[in-house]
Amino acid sequence: MRAAPLHQLSQKRDIGGVTLKLKQFETLAAVLHTEFQKGVARAKGGRQGEVYLSVDEYADVDWDKLGFRLMETDYMYIMKCCQDDEFSHGHLNRYGNIELSPSAGVLNYAQGLFEGLKAYRKVNGNGFLIFRPEENARRMQIGSDRMCMPSPSVEQFVHAVKQTVLANKRWIPPPGKGSLYVRPLLMGSGPILGLAPASEYTFLVYAAPVGNYFKEGLAPINLVIQDESYRATPGGTGAVKTIANYSPVLKAQMQAKKKGFTDVLFLDAVDNKYLEEASSCNIFIRKVDERLVSVEDLTDADEVFCTGTAVVVAPVNSITYKGQRYKYNCGEDAVSRKLYKSLTDIQMGIAEDKKGWTVEID
Ligand code: COI
């Protein structure tokens, strides 16, 4: 790995034959400067207190072995604000642990939201594409209203995502090998003992290179229906992406995995018969009709597939309900395969984006 220490960086713009564009140079120099001021800089393969910046195009990763696991990257974005105030100044920091009071709102009362979106390396030419970041920003705003938190504006959210992607661009997999999964978090970071909104909020964005979500890769998955616990209840928080919606799923997920299933499919909490979603993604069944989909519809569906940012589009091979296994079309002619290709072609810049869904950065 080629690397240049800070003092060289601030004098030179051409390091080891790689010329940094002025914009990138300024961003990175600012990051390193901030770190020095705050005294949080860590030596990386060099003397204590000396910050090294890799100028390699790619991080040292076996891109063929990517799964959906955390790989620590270089930088994260942080922005803080007080209750009843607005977010104003964010900055990039070296990726690392953050300090929280033991009584932080997020730790004690799960006052937090997360988002997920992906950045791809463009297939044809330089630059990177992110997919509909404004929609993630808007969803975070809706969630923050439900969770009584201030939220970054759409512009602040998108800016933070772009900064995080560019600062970690050497971790964006080569085209066709995966993507950089970007994880924005909004949390009540201020201390609070009685149940109330926290006094301070932290918006943080980190990123990690990922491949396929399920260990099956692109192979069809096998689901099992769970009708004893629920993802969403009337009046609850199922409609927003609060962090507390996810860990209650773990028990059912672990039990299903022990029995060899890929994931769990949940039913609605009121009638216990309409399909809601899987642990980590949405569910679609192909039948031409627009209405609530009940478990009975699964008996004669042509095709079933899951969708989500992390999962993309995953064909479902079978769903097991009350011990009965239903099988679906996952062949080359399956709609899910066409959808997967159309979507990822747009996300990677292979197909024309006629809807204006992608945002180009470089
Ligand atoms: C998503 O893809 O929307 C997710 O929330 C995935 C996450 C549970 C890993």
Q: Transcribe 201-235 into DSSP letters.
A: EEEEEEEEEE--SSTTTTS-EEEEEE-SS-S--TT
Ramachandran angles phi, psi of 232, nearest 5°:
-140, 145
Half-sphere exposure (CA, 13 Å, Cβ side) for 228? 8
Q: Is there a domain that residue 322 lies in?
A: yes
How far, in Å, is the centroid of ligand 1 from the Cα of 281? 6
Answer with the one of 211, 242, 272 that is the final residue of a domain: 211
| Contact predicate 172/165, CB 8 Å | yes
Give yes or no: residues 235 and 324 share one domain.
yes
Q: Is there a domain that residue 354 lies in?
A: no
- 179, β-bridge pairs: 210
Give yes or no: residues 130 and 15 share one domain.
no
Q: Transcribe 309-351 into DSSP letters.
A: TTTEEEEEEEEEETTEEEE---STT-HHHHHHHHHHHHHTTSS
Give yes or no: residues 207 and 225 share one domain.
no
Ligand 1 atom closest to residue 279's alpha carbon, by position in its atom list: 8
In this structure, are strands 179-188 and 221-226 parallel, antiparallel, or unpaired? Answer: unpaired
Answer with the one of 170, 186, 211 that is the final residue of a domain: 211
- pLDDT at residue 48, rounded to an integer: 35
Give yes or no: residues 179 and 93 share one domain.
yes
Ligand 1 atom closest to residue 241's alpha carbon, by position in its atom list: 5
- pLDDT at residue 125, rounded to an integer: 67
We report the CATH number of the domain holding residue 127 as 3.30.470.10
Which alpha helices (DSSP H) does 147-275 contain, by range? 154-167, 250-258
- pLDDT at residue 293, rounded to an integer: 86
Does the active-site annotation cover 241? yes
Two tokens at 44? 């990386």
Separation CA 67–CA 178 (nearest Å): 9
Q: How many helices (H) and strands (E) does the chain have?
A: 7, 19
- pLDDT at residue 33, rounded to an integer: 40
How far, CA to CA in Å, does 216 sit from each of 70, 100, 208, 209, 349? 18, 37, 20, 18, 26
- pLDDT at residue 17, rounded to an integer: 31
Separation CA 28–CA 74 (nearest Å): 11
Q: Is there a domain that residue 340 lies in?
A: no
Q: Is there a domain that residue 345 lies in?
A: no
- pLDDT at residue 271, rounded to an integer: 95
- pLDDT at residue 55, rounded to an integer: 60
Give yes or no: residues 45 and 110 share one domain.
no
Give yes or no: residues 27 and 149 share one domain.
no
**Which residue is catalytic, options 177, 241, 257, 259?**
241
| Contact predicate 305/327, CB 8 Å | no
Q: Is there a domain that residue 34 lies in?
A: yes
Give yes or no: residues 207 and 245 share one domain.
no
- Domain boundaries, position 82: 63-211
Give yes or no: residues 35 and 67 share one domain.
no
Q: Is there a domain that residue 350 lies in?
A: no
How far, in Å, is the centroid of ligand 1 from the Cα of 279? 8
Q: Is there a domain that residue 361 lies in?
A: no
What residue owns the CA closest to ligand 1's atom 7? 280
CB-based contacts of 115: which residues, under 8 Å, 6+ apart? 136, 139, 140, 183, 184, 185, 241
Structural domain total, the chain = 3
Testing ligand 1's pocket by substitution, the residue of 140, 179, 309 carrying the most ligand atoms inside 8 A of its CB is: 309
Give yes or no: residues 70 and 190 share one domain.
yes
Give yes or no: residues 38 and 72 share one domain.
no
Ligand 1 atom closest to residue 246's alpha carbon, by position in its atom list: 8
How far, in Å, is the centroid of ligand 1 from the Cα of 356? 23
Give yes or no: residues 116 and 37 share one domain.
no
How far, in Å, is the centroid of ligand 1 from the Cα of 308? 6
Give the pocket of ligand 1 (CB within 6 Å): 116, 280-281, 308-311
Task: State the burial class of residue 216 (Cβ atoms within 10 Å of its Cβ: 0-12, 13-18, 19+).
Answer: middle
Per-residue pLDDT of the chain (362 residues; tens, 9 = 90+): 334 333 333 333 333 333 333 334 444 544 444 443 333 333 333 333 334 455 678 999 999 999 999 999 999 999 999 999 999 999 999 999 999 999 999 999 999 999 999 999 998 768 999 999 999 999 999 999 999 999 999 999 999 999 999 999 999 999 999 999 999 999 999 999 999 999 999 999 999 999 999 988 889 999 999 989 999 999 999 999 999 999 999 999 999 999 999 999 999 999 999 999 999 999 999 876 777 889 989 988 989 999 999 999 999 999 999 999 999 999 999 999 999 999 999 999 999 999 999 999 98
What residue owns the CA closest to ligand 1's atom 5? 280
Q: Is there a domain that residue 282 lies in?
A: yes
How far, in Å, is the centroid of ligand 1 from the Cα of 246? 9
- pLDDT at residue 126, rounded to an integer: 81
Separation CA 74–CA 97 (nearest Å): 12
We report the CATH number of the domain holding residue 324 as 3.20.10.10
Give yes or no: residues 203 and 232 share one domain.
no
CB-based contacts of 339: which residues, under 8 Å, 6+ apart? 305, 307, 313
